[in-house]
Chain A
Amino acid sequence: MDSEYDAIVLGTGLKECILSGMLSVSGKKVLHIDRNKYYGGESASLTPIKDLFQHFNSEDPGEKFGRGKDWNVDLIPKFLMANGQLVKLLIHTGVTRYVEFKSIEGSYVYKGGKISKVPVDQKEALASDLMGMFEKRRFRNFLIYVQDIREDDIKTWKDFDPTKQNAQALYDKFGLDKNTQDFTGHALALHRDDEYLAEPAIVTIRRIKLYSDSLARYGKSPYLYPMYGLCELPQGFARLSAIYGGTYMLDKQVDEIVYDGNGKVVGVRSGEELAKCKQVFCDPTYVNEKVRIKGKVVRCICILDHPIPNTKDALSTQIIIPQKQVGRRSDIYVSVVSSTHQVAAKGFFIAMVSTTVESDNPENEIKPGLDLLGPIAQKFVSVSDYYEPTDKGLESQVFISESYDATTHFETTCLDVLDIFKRATGEEFDFSKIKHEIGDEEQ
């Protein structure tokens, strides 16, 4: 450890591992440390199941939930958009070779006390009970408009300026009713709250395009999930970093980030050892003094021995409960994975209900989600703060990632990573750098 590095990365959460990989690929000498003896940090997948119980101070369940080592339970639920940033990053970096995925079978939305499938094609849309006959026609016209619009071609905008006019104006242009707006904004554009209505419509248009492009890729739903759980992703990027020379140390205490007289970082101390460096990249848990609380997320991990009612026994699902449907300001998300992803023992399901905390009784806030699950064999509720950095790192050269928010997918994760990379290196990440060099290993 007593050596000099270009960058020291602290924590092996997904963001830190992607950054570590990008830095190593760019030729930087990287030391990557985690205080835990496992990969993943806050976004780890716990295995075997007794570790999950231990994490929540519960007793080892023994054989109650089948073979303990068949479980890999994510602490933070997320899916990948099949055509999203993270998938592009996985493909461009070659990390896709280390991880296999499955499509999430169904995507559902909550309306009027029950759940309906988010239609994936014309046929399903026509049969859907989400809207009436005339509304369907208006919605269809809206979708065609969104599909055809191209940002660089004003002709496709058709008397509407999506860069200036807001999303509400776009809905009004097509005469969509409140229910359809709710469904479109939350289940397709995946907005967490209704603030987007006042923002330029182009944001929502891009998000709907992402949804439908993702859907087009694999069919059943726009979402993908890695076999063996989300923690495969940081492990994959860590491997990329190691392949390009990154040094890995797990289970290593981090005692201090050391600065010079001007507040610029010079190294990281662990016990008597000091590793020198020019830059530090870390998650908020390593630098309490440079972050502030941005909000709270409540997450409930539920173990079930049956699929979710009314999802046609899907082995994996996402259900979105738009805020307005249950009188809230932010959506509630339910994600379900199972033994088919090698994250649970045979016959078991893991449902995760999460939302942004709005009250003093967070557990009560997720009740509408829990009510959809049927009998719950075991549940663990956690409320965690999420942090944002107060220091952008330009002087200190300490670059801090944001905690994982309540969104159900990784788009914001990737944006944060690319932004940090740019702040730290002064340039955009050059994807072409990797492809050429790995090219000779496998075609």
Chain B
Amino acid sequence: MTRNYGALETKRFLVTPETKDFPRNNYGMATARGNNGSGQRPNNTTQNRICQFKLVLLGESAVGKSSLVLRFVKGQFHEYQESTIGAAFLTQTLCIDDTTVKFEIWDTAGQERYHSLAPMYYRGAQAAIVVYDIQNQDSFERAKNWVKELQRQATPNIVIALAGNKADLSQSRVVEHDEAKQYAEENGLLFLETSAKTAMNVNDIFLAIAKKLPKVEGNNGNVHGRRLNENEPNRQMNNCCK
């Protein structure tokens, strides 16, 4: 199935500051197969393996979960982003060596607010980003609870990244970088401080996850059914398809 990002948005994404810093011959944002090519990277000409992963976002309300995704997927940031409405399912692809990693990103849609996230949310998730606000100690404690919740509910070998967001506001920081880093190390989590506003480390955290995910066919033994589709009734969903 082809992705159809607007060429404009893809381009905008390509010129975000941190993208420039990537060694382009190794990774880069790629539009998926079948695009008209306007956003295609010159080095991404060969067709390679595509692996698809479900990634969920967790964290207290207003720590910037949706902003991180919007920055990653669309290269946008809104200072006064409303509570999540209307965009809780986004996809973005990354290229690592000969593999295209497609993230299917699930946002909480605000259902975390009154502890009403459905079990469906965690189901089959292969990666998670647990977000806290570096200005808010409570949000960090909540993040630790989310990590526990994931270890209890999610697939056993889920890749978890901890993101200390709003890192651009370090003058009002209360959660120390080293404290969070130590916690992450003790619990086997990836860790980066991020800023959806300046785009700092946003792509990097997704890249780090993509690199850590096992990219083999049928990874972690998930069993898949079929997705219903108006036009392609017989399309089978596979976890990792050639």
Contact = CB atoms under 8 A, between A and B. Distances in A.
Interface string B93-131: 000000000000000011101111011110100000000
A100 B237 contact: yes
B88 A97 contact: no
Interface string B66-95: 000000000000000000111111110000
Contacts of B223: 227, 340, 342
A90 B228 CA distance: 8
A247 interface: yes
B76 to A, nearest CB: 13
A91 B231 CA distance: 10
B4 A96 contact: no
B85 A250 contact: no
B18 to A, nearest CB: 24
A20 interface: no
B4 A443 contact: yes
Given A245-B85, A249-B114, A443 B109 contact: no
Given A100-B225, A102-B226, A239-B111, A441 B89 contact: yes
A259 interface: no
A377 interface: no
Contacts of B227: 96-97, 99-101
A442 B119 contact: no
B230 interface: yes
A98 interface: yes
| Tier of interface size on chain A | 35 or more
Interface centre among B86, B109, B119, B225 (most CB of A within 10 A): B225
A6 to B, nearest CB: 15
A103 B88 CA distance: 28
Contacts of A251: 115
A248 B111 contact: yes
Interface stretch (A150-158, A198-206, A230-238, A390-398): A230-238
Contact of A443 (B1, B118, B228, B233): B1
B44 to A, nearest CB: 20
Interface string A65-88: 000000000000000001000010
A243 B88 contact: yes
A224 B3 CA distance: 27
Nearest to A80: B228
Contact of A248 (B85, B114, B120, B229): B114
B234 interface: yes
A249 B84 contact: no
Nearest to B1: A443
**Most chain A C-beta atoms within 10 Å of own C-beta, residue among B88, B91, B111, B123:** B111
Nearest to B85: A245
A404 interface: no
A102 B118 CA distance: 21
B229 A244 contact: no
Contact of A243 (B3, B109, B113): B109
Interface string A83-124: 000010011001011111111000000000000000000000
Given A96-B228, A243-B85, 11 more contacts: A91-B230, A96-B227, A218-B234, A235-B118, A236-B120, A239-B121, A242-B88, A243-B89, A247-B113, A251-B115, A438-B86
Which label, helix, strand, loop or mixed, suits the secondary structure of the A interface? mixed
A238 to B, nearest CB: 6
B224 interface: yes
B12 to A, nearest CB: 15
Contacts of B86: 243-245, 437-438
Contacts of B46: none
Interface of A: 39, 47, 82, 87, 90-91, 94, 96-103, 217-218, 224, 226-228, 232, 235-236, 238-239, 242-245, 247-252, 340-342, 437-438, 441-443
B2 interface: yes
13 contacts: A82-B233, A96-B228, A101-B227, A103-B226, A218-B234, A224-B228, A235-B119, A239-B88, A245-B110, A248-B113, A437-B86, A441-B89, A442-B91
A438 B229 CA distance: 15
Contacts of B237: 100
A442 B223 CA distance: 23
Contacts of A341: 225
**Top 3 A-B residue pairs of the complex, sorted by shortest distance between their CB atoms:** A100-B225, A242-B109, A248-B116
Contacts of A91: 228-230
A226 B227 CA distance: 10
Given A443-B2, A443-B3, A96 B229 contact: yes
Interface in B211-242: 223-230, 233-234, 237
